[in-house]
Amino acid sequence: MRCSVGHAESEAQVAQWEKLLRQVLSGKADANIPFDGLCGLLARLGYIQSIRGDHHIFRKRGQPEIVNIQPLRDGKAKPFEVRQIRKLLQKYGQTKIS
């Protein structure tokens, strides 16, 4: 399953991305972040995705770190991976949808 982001987003779609970003950054719902939503959020923030088996690998130009995530069986993201992504987003100041 490859995550994609459309070019013409409505205000409602942008609001959904902003809501998900706030959830990730808040740290209050790490166990309830949908995996597909997290993939889409990373793509929306400019990360390039590649897939190897069930490993979804994200890279971004100018950032030496890579993000390697796998879905849980229930379709959620792993809480420890959400924490890692939060730290990375905060480190690079990616706290808003542009």
Give me the residues of the chain with pLDDT under 50, please: 1-2, 4-6
pLDDT for the residue numbered 3: 52
Contact in structure between 10 and 37 (CB atoms under 8 Å) = no
SS3 1: coil
Question: What residues pair up with 49 in beta bridges, in sequence order?
Answer: 58
Q: How far apart, in whole angstroms, are the C-alpha atoms of residue 72 and residue 58?
A: 17
pLDDT for the residue numbered 55: 97
pLDDT for the residue numbered 1: 45
Q: How far apart, in whole angstroms, are the C-alpha atoms of residue 55 and residue 57?
A: 6
pLDDT for the residue numbered 87: 98
Query: In the chain, where are the structural domains located?
Result: 11-91
Q: How far apart, in whole angstroms, are the C-alpha atoms of residue 33 and residue 25?
A: 11
SS3 33: coil
